[in-house]
Each structure stands twice: as C-alpha cells, then as structure tokens.
Amino acid sequence: MLNHLRRKLTWNYSTWFFITLLIVLAVLFLLVKSMLFETANEDIQDILHYELEKYKGQDAIEVKPEASPSLYFSVVLSKSAHSIRGVQPAGKDAQTFSKFVRKQPCCRSEGKLKNLKGHFGDEMHIIYASARIDKNSTLFVGKNISSIHEKIEHWFFSLSLIGLAALMISVIMGDRLARKAMKPIIQNIEGQKKFIADASHELRTPISIFSASLEVLENEERDKLSPFSQETLNELKDEVRQMNGLVANLLMLAQEDAGQLKMNKESFSFAELAGQLVHQYERLYEGKRQIALHVPDDKMLVEADRVRIKELLHVLLDNACKYSVLGSSISITVQKEEGRILSFTVEDKGAGIPAEEIPYLFDRFYRVEKGRSRQAGGAGLGLSIAKAITDLHDGTIKVSSWPGEGTIFSVRLPILANIL
C-alpha cells in the first residue's frame, strides 16, 4: 500500500513539474520564434518602403539586375502581371521568386511567409510583401529567411533536448518529494502498527484471566445464579470470545507487517476441510442458509497451512452468511487449474457491494455498512485476514459484486499437491 502511494505521489509530482517546465519551454520557443519573424517582417516592410521610394517619380521603370544588393529580391510586374519589367538580383532563386509572385495578388504591406522549392530542389523559406508603384506597375519584394528558419529548428531541437533532461529531472524531483512526503505517513503508520502489536500482546493476559474467572464463576456458582445472572454471564463469555478473536487477528496482522507470519505446511484434503465448515455453518444457522459445495474431487489434496486455509474459508463463508438474504443460497465452487492452482469462489445472493466501496474492502477495520458492526459482529478485520492468508500462500483474492444481486469472492492458490 505504501509503495503504491509513493508511486502515485511520484507520478503526480513528476507530471506537474514536467508540465510546468514544458509550458515554460513552449513559451520560450514561441517567444523567440515570434521575435525572429517579427524582425523579418519589419525588414521586409523597410525594403518595400525603400524600393517604392526609389521608383517613385520615374516615368519609365527600368530595373538592372546589378542595381540591388543580393540580400533581398525585388520584382516589378506590369498591370496584367504577364510581363516582368524588372528582376533583381539575377540568379536562379530570384527567378523562382519571380515565377511565384506572378500568381500573387496585390497588395500586401505586411510580410507573408511562404515555402518555395529552390532551383536545386531544396526548400526556400521566404517572406514577401507588395505594393503598387503606379497604376501600371506592381512591386514585389521578398527575402530569403531560410537561415532564420534553421535557427528556429536548432532552437526547437535544443529545447527538445532540454525537455528530455527536464523529464528525467522531473522524475528524480518527483521521487524525492514523494519520499519526503511519505516520511511522516510512514512514521504514523509504523507507530500505529507498533501500538496495535503492543496492545494485542498486553491484552492477551487480562483477557485470558477474565475468561478463566468467568469459567470458574460458572462452574462454582451455576446452581446459585438467577436466569438474569446466567444470561449476563453468557453475554460476558461471548464478549470474551470476540475479544480473543480480535486480539488473535490483530496479532496475526502485526506479524504480517513485521514479516514474521509463518506458514506450517501440511498435506490435507481441501474438499474435506470445506465440507466440515459447510456442515458447521448449516448447523449454526439451523437451515436458514442453504450452502452448496461443488468439488470435482472428493480428496483434492493440497499442501498448505491447514489452520490458515480454514480461517480463509471461515472468513469468506461467514461474510456470505451474514450479508446474504434470509433463505437464499450460498455457493462454494472449487476447481483445479494448471500449474498446481486451486481456485474457488464463494457466491452469495445478498445486497451486494457498491462499486466505489470495492477498492477498500481489504483495508483494515473497513466496513461497507458502518452501522452494522455490532449487529453483524466482528471489527472489519476479516477480509484483511483473508488477504494476508492469500498473500502468505502466494495467491490472489478478488471480488465481484452487483448491488441488489450478490457478491462473488474468487481465490486462486498455488497449493495443489504433486501426485506422482
């Protein structure tokens, strides 16, 4: 449970830390990209203004290729855009640009980005703008910003590497924060476990003395007790039995926490053990519960801790009897599976368990119906004991339930005996 909680905290911390860094990196990338393109846009507007000023007032527009620096393209089109009056500078890239602008409308004072295929098949990234020189001529200017595009790609690649590093840092930081957050939780849980273990040991002696005193009182004063006193004595004995069971369960769970829960393996018939428990419960409920046992093999030998397996069956059968509808049937189905797996289910036709309660069923002291603790008996430790016994035998226990229909507990244990 603690490992699951630590992993969950690590995941949460790492995720939020990484998302925060990712947002920062994304903002940096977009900010730099925006600044570079804004600079390019300002440049192309300055170029457009410069070229317009150069041609203003000329009666006949004539452009010489060598008249313009090679830092940008300048194309002058006729009104019909079918004839090019001038292209500068000369070169294949300029020709590519001039072919492109012949298909573009006028006018665009703001720079616009466009990817063109260069003369050698390479991609050329340009930003261009346009304006009218006079009623018969249109000016297009463009600038090759492939170097800026490469800078953006390099910037993106660098930020991606930083993002990968941030991911690893996020996991490390998340794990450290989770461990730090877990320290007080672990200390609290360890303190609770120690208290339960110590209290259980300390309670055994006074409960044993109290139980022995009740036995002596009953043996010596049986004939002198009034009916009311006899009833009170019986109630006290029942309470002592419940306390003994509670202390035994707490001690078992304390041993599991300390890793000291031992298993005394022996070979026995699972079918016989289950049959004995079924007969006991049928007598206990005086026919008010119908329990059906389905076993494929009368023997079904297993190698396990007989006492623990009996307790496991007792917990599941006791729950089924307590929470099933009066007169309804309870079914125990046992099967053999490959790999020495013995599986069995305990099914009742009770009120069922809400889906939101199922994840907490095996928690200690947890009860679905809090108000029925005293009426039903027990302290909410039964299923915790069942889970501990299943884990001790390297098995699994699962629950399926449908409100208003019933509940099925499914257990798989690798305990079938090897028969040569």
Question: Which CATH code of 3.30.160, 1.10.760, 3.30.70, 3.30.450 fits the domain covering 2-151?
Answer: 3.30.450
3-state secondary structure of 190: helix
Task: Starting at the earlier edge strand, list the strands of the sheet with 108-117.
Answer: 84-88, 73-78, 137-144, 123-134, 108-117
312 vs 389: CA distance, rounded Å: 7
Distance between CA atoms of 323 and 312, rounded to whole angstroms?
17
Reduced DSSP (H G I as helix, E B as strand, rest coil) percent helix, strand, coil of the chain, to 5: 55, 20, 25
Q: DSSP for 120-161, please give it.
A: TS-EEEEEEEEEEEETTEEEEEEEE-HHHHHHHHHHHHHHHH
- Give every residue of the chain whose pLDDT is below 70, as ranges: 1-2, 57-70, 79-92, 118-121, 192-193, 196-197, 199-201, 369-379, 419-420
Which of 340, 275, 334, 262 has its CA nearest to residue 302? 340
Sign of the CA dihedral 263, 266, 267, 273?
negative
Specify the 3-state DSSP secondary structure of 312. helix
CATH tag, 180-257: 1.10.287.130
Q: Is the peptide bond before 89 cis (omega within 30 degrees of 0)?
A: yes
Do strands 406-413 and 341-348 pair parallel, antiparallel, or not at all (unpaired)?
antiparallel
**What is the structure's pLDDT at 126?**
84
- DSSP SS3 for 221: helix
- The domain spans of the chain are 2-151, 180-257, 265-413
User: Which residue type is seen at 179?
Assistant: R
Residue that the structure tokens 């006193």 belong to: 229
In whole angstroms, what is the distance from residue 232 CA to residue 215 CA?
13
Count of residues making up the chain: 420
Neighbours of 48 (CB within 10 A): 25
Backbone Cα Rg of the chain: 42
Which helix (H) or strand (E) element contains residue 342? strand 341-348
Q: What sign does the CA torsion over 266, 267, 268, 269 have?
A: positive
Cα–Cα distance list, 115 to 100, 124, 145, 149, 172 (Å): 10, 6, 10, 11, 42
Q: Rounded to whole angstroms, what are the CA distances from 239 to 35, 127, 174, 202, 361?
A: 80, 89, 49, 18, 25
Locate 115 and state its tokens.
């990817």
State the pLDDT at residue 420: 45
Residues 145 and 116: their CA atoms lie apart, in Å, by: 11
Distance CA 306, CA 298 (A): 17
User: Token match 């492939």: residue?
Assistant: 146
Q: Report yes or no on whether pTM surpasses 0.75.
A: no
Q: Are 346 and 409 in contact (CB under 8 A)?
A: yes
CA trace torsion 269, 270, 271, 273 (10° rounding): 90
| pLDDT for position 357 | 87
State how far the alpha carbon of 185 is from the alpha carbons of 11, 161, 168, in Å. Answer: 18, 36, 26
265-413: CATH topology: Heat Shock Protein 90 (3.30.565)
Q: Is the dihedral of CA 246, 248, 252, 257 positive or negative?
A: positive
Tokens of 193: 């476990």
pLDDT in tens, 39-95: 888 888 888 888 888 777 665 555 554 444 457 788 888 766 555 555 555 556 777
Largest CA distance in the chain: 139
